[in-house]
Structure 1
Amino acid sequence: MKNSSKYIIGAVLIIIGILAIFGNIGFLTFSWIFKLTWPTIIIMISLFFFLGYFTRRPQGAGFLVPGGTLLTIGATLMIGQMFPFLERYIWPAYIAAPAVGLFLLYLFGERSPGLLVPVGILMTISATCFL
């Protein structure tokens, strides 16, 4: 087993342990944990993509697109679960999600100006829908 996979398994076990401790001391109820589990899984998958970038830098910049997209989607879903009254207002963040991934590729990749075109279009559409 490679060192990077040992770190990933260790980090997942630590997070599960912290959540279990919070559940035992009454800080988090299990209904709250179940409500946040599936957005958390999406966020964890995005972190694996970011880890892929950090282990293969700078050639692994392509990992940032799905990583940024999934992180934005997971965070939006989690906000919707935590604050249900905001669900009808935060849906344009789903439109902005691919733009976040492409913008991360622009920032940490080869800085190709062509990437800014879809980023600008998607962010403009998303911002318009937020209004």
Structure 2
Amino acid sequence: MFKRSIIGPALMLIGVFLYFNQGQSFGAGAIFANFWASMFVIPLGLLFHWLYFGVTGGKGVGLLIPGGILFTAGLVCQLATLFSAWHILWPGFILAVAVGLFEFYWFGNRNKWLLIPINILAVLSLLFFGVFSLSAFSGQLATMQPLFAIALIIVGAFAMLSRKKEQ
């Protein structure tokens, strides 16, 4: 059990780190700099979940709010650190609050009024993800503009030249 739950993911993270940092130094400082979220923030979020599901027997539903926030924020921080994508992944912090509140809603008494802030935060986060992802990839799309233009011309020509189906 211990090998699968702790050693397996740890070896995978070290493998990802070695793959992305080929030719760079590999020391304790580099490990802490790249995996601080996996070492501190994500386990703290999992601790809150364990306290709710394991220790309190489902009675301390309020533990899921910080648990969901910390776990999601830890994932966002880890991905942003590994891929240097803070400029794209920052809306994940807004989504983290929505995840924590949704866990509270799902495992709690299902107060329907809690869905209002959950939906507002989730939609806002997804909107920011979309906008900042498109702006980050707009430079790459500019190089593909001739191909996109040709594709539009071909699709338009097929649309004009295709015969209408008889009804």
Scaled to the shorter chain, the TM-score interval is 0.7 to 0.9
Q: Kindly tell me the number of residue pairs found equivalent between the two proteins.
A: 112
Give the SS at the match of 1:59: coil
1:117 aligns with 2:113: no
RMSD of aligned alpha carbons: 2.4
- Give the TM-score normalised by the residue count of structure 1: 0.74
Stretch of structure 1 that moved more, 64-73 or 119-128: 119-128
Structure 2: runs of 5+ lacking an equivalent: 19-25, 131-167
- Give the TM-score normalised by the residue count of structure 2: 0.59
- 1:37 is aligned, of 35, 38, 47, to 35
Identity of aligned residues (%): 37
Larger Rg: 2
> 2:68 — aligned with what?
68
Letter paired with 1:62: G
State the distance in 1 between where 2:34 and 2:64 align: 24
Stretch of structure 1 that moved more, 120-129 or 69-78: 120-129
State the distance in 2 between where 1:36 and 1:110 align: 39
Deviations 1:45-97 (A, max 9, x none): 1111011101213211111000000001100000011111x221111111111
